[in-house]
Amino acid sequence: MQLTHEENQFERKTFPITLVCDHIYFQQNIGSLFRISEAFGVENIIFLGKDIPLTPRKINKTSRSTHLHVPHQIIEETTELTAYLQENNFEIIALEITSNSKPLKEVLIPKDKKTALLIGSEIAGISEELLKISHQIVHINMFGKNSSMNVVQAASIALYEITSL
């Protein structure tokens, strides 16, 4: 028999992870990112960009009301985000396929630092500015011809891997 949300026996836990969303604007993705962040105990979500559509009416369907429970903020400028991450001593991990990225399974999560997991926009990925400040750049190994996947699917896989360490 399927269990309800109240009946499941999963341990409630929050991880020192901040999900950083670099110019993600598709409302279904934003709602789904709230939902997956709540499921994996993400501490905070930062949306980078201007005019991020966080109106609950539009994202509520995919977020299933998790946008009410996951702390989040908007930072409009990359320079402000960079300063925030560096001043607060985050381990900055970018999820992107680059010439020097390593497989996600090789990610190293320091025990004494908060983690910022950077995910990129649906169109352009993670900006060069943010890749330059990243301590680690990781990718998800894929075995088909396609070299990308939906940002929410990729974030889900990465959060599963990081919270399982």
Percent of the chain surpassing pLDDT 70: 100
CATH 2.40.50.180: does it fit domain 15-164? no
- pLDDT the model gives residue 46: 98
Does pLDDT of 165 surpass 90?
A: no
* Paired tokens of 9: 């026996």
pTM: 0.95
What is the C-alpha to C-alpha distance for residues 29 and 153, in angstroms, rounded to an integer?
Answer: 10
- At 74-114, the pLDDT tens digits run 999 999 999 999 999 999 999 999 999 999 999 999 999 99
Point out which residues pair with 137 in neighbouring strands. 94
